[in-house]
């Protein structure tokens, strides 16, 4: 079966106010020449470290249908299929706006301090069980990721899911206005980006910008019980939105009754507008149960079949860096369980990840080990917020804490004497002392902000783990 045409040359020229020769047809859109596929329209974006124009020739050699450029790169044939525009990022936004205009899909947008990507994955899985769907990949939630997601949207999908993030006030508004969702889901309001925004009130107001893009009659799906539920609800209603709530609060429209861990996920019992529903969440942790409730609340507002949606949701697999669980054989014998939460971190998500660690029982003489890097962008309160991680860490039954970064020094000093603490300057140095200390049955959580580069530790663990089979061995003492 041939791939569906996303953009004809004429459509792309009209959407971008561009010029160029040819009657090419694009079956995809790419901004990365390393992963460009035959038939893609390659958009040559310019950033602080790379200029996509330098890779146009390579993209065309790999079979790109055409290249979206703001200048003609050197060394190309005179008849090279180029779409020349004034600004390639603005042109990508033009493609996004045109794709949104032509779709009849039910469109969702998700934002929040944590849980955005997990909720997006759960909602994408639920939508896929209901019909043709399209969703953002990875964490494509910024000024280029959102337009790229829309520009890649097939013409005839029934459902579309976009994730919208921010670091500063004013960043969500233009993206929400581009997405024009029928339903906007806010997962929570936490202590993230305090360095830029200053307070949780400011964070809530920045997240509330998502309501400014809602279609007429749109729905706002909000976490009841969150400190800023009422603030968000007022902002949503001011935009004419209907508010639907989820959470454990007794007044929630979609209400958590019970959550119990099961395998690598959990079982949720809920009331959905007074209708009982029991379903499985494939991601571990009570916080993921709340994410799933928000997803089902969003689908309910657009008429989705909840029982079918819950079946699709249960099949979703966690992404690397966001709760993926691996059983790794150690080179010297024995095996460990890795909880990979390395992609990002804030106080709320670290506490949630530690709670999951506390639910996992080590094998034999294994230990619960927390490997944590600095949580960034927390402003003047960063030291205190790191020290307060002590409470969920101790509650999780962690016996060994491997920490890195200057801010994690505050946690190292706050931990009680019965927790063995190792602190290193950075993740590379920490990996070197962590690896020889691991032994049979250990459960290892790795988490930290993206800038802390905790992926280095995950990579080291995977490199040492020659397989996912358990093969005996003994624990090593620190």
What's the confidence (pLDDT) of residue 193?
A: 67
As a whole number of angstroms, the distance between CA 316 and CA 292 comes to 11
**Cα–Cα nearest to 122, from 289, 276, 301:** 289
Q: What is the pTM of this model?
A: 0.90
Q: Mean pLDDT in runs of 10 for the chain (478 residues)?
A: 86 97 95 95 91 95 97 91 97 98 98 93 97 92 96 97 93 97 95 74 94 98 95 97 97 97 94 95 94 97 95 90 87 87 91 95 95 93 96 97 97 97 97 93 95 94 61 36
What's the confidence (pLDDT) of residue 465?
A: 65
Exposure string for 269-280, b = 16+ CB within 10 A, e = fewer: ebbbeeeebebb
As a whole number of angstroms, the distance between CA 340 and CA 321 comes to 5
Domains in the chain, CATH or no CATH each: 7-87 (3.40.1390.10), 103-313 (3.40.1190.10), 324-464 (3.90.190.20)
Query: 366, 396 in Cβ contact below 8 A?
Result: no
What's the confidence (pLDDT) of residue 89?
A: 97
């Amino acid at each position: 079966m041939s791939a569906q045409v996303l953009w004809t040359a004429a459509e792309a020229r009209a959407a971008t106010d561009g010029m160029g020769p040819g009657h090419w047809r694009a079956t995809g859109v790419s901004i990365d020449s390393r992963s460009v596929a035959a038939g893609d329209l390659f958009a040559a974006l310019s950033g602080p470290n790379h200029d996509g124009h330098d890779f146009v020739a390579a993209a065309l050699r790999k079979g790109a249908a055409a290249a979206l450029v703001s200048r003609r790169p050197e060394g190309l044939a005179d008849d090279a299929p180029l779409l020349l525009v004034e600004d390639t990022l603005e042109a990508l936004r033009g493609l996004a706006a045109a794709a949104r205009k032509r779709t009849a899909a039910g469109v969702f947008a998700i934002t929040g301090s944590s849980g955005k990507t997990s909720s997006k994955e759960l909602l994408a899985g639920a939508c896929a069980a209901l019909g043709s769907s399209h969703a953002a990949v990875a964490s494509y939630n910024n000024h280029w990721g959102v337009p790229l997601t829309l520009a890649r949207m097939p013409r005839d999908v029934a459902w579309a899911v976009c994730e919208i993030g921010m670091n500063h006030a004013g960043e969500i508004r233009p993206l929400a206005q581009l997405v024009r969702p029928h339903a906007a889901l806010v997962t929570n309001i936490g202590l993230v980006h305090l360095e830029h925004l200053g307070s949780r009130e400011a964070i809530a107001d920045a997240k509330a910008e998502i309501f400014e893009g809602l279609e007429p009659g749109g729905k706002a799906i909000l976490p009841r019980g969150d400190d800023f539920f009422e603030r968000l609800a007022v902002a949503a209603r001011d935009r004419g939105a209907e508010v639907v709530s989820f959470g454990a609060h007794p007044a929630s429209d979609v209400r958590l009754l019970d959550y119990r861990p099961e395998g690598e996920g959990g079982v949720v019992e809920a009331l959905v507008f007074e209708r009982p529903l029991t379903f499985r969440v494939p991601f571990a942790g009570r916080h993921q149960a709340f994410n799933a409730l928000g997803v089902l609340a969003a689908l309910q507002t657009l008429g989705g079949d909840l029982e079918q949606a819950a079946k699709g949701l249960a099949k979703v697999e966690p992404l690397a860096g966001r709760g993926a669980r691996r059983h790794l054989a150690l080179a010297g014998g024995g095996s460990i369980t890795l909880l990979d939460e390395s992609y990002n971190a804030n106080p709320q998500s670290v506490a949630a990840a530690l709670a999951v660690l506390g639910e996992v029982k080590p094998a034999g003489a294994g230990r619960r080990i927390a490997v944590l890097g600095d949580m960034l962008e927390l402003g003047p309160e960063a030291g205190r917020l790191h020290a307060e991680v002590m409470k969920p860490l101790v509650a999780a039954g962690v016996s060994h804490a491997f920490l890195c970064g200057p801010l994690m020094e505050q946690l190292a000093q706050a931990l009680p004497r019965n927790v063995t603490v190792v602190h290193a300057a950075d993740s590379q140095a920490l990996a070197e002392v962590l690896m020889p200390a691991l032994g049979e049955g250990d459960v290892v959580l790795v988490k930290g902000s993206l800038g802390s580069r905790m992926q280095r530790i995950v990579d080291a663990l995977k490199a040492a783990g020659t397989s996912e089979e358990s093969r005996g061995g003994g624990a090593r003492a620190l």
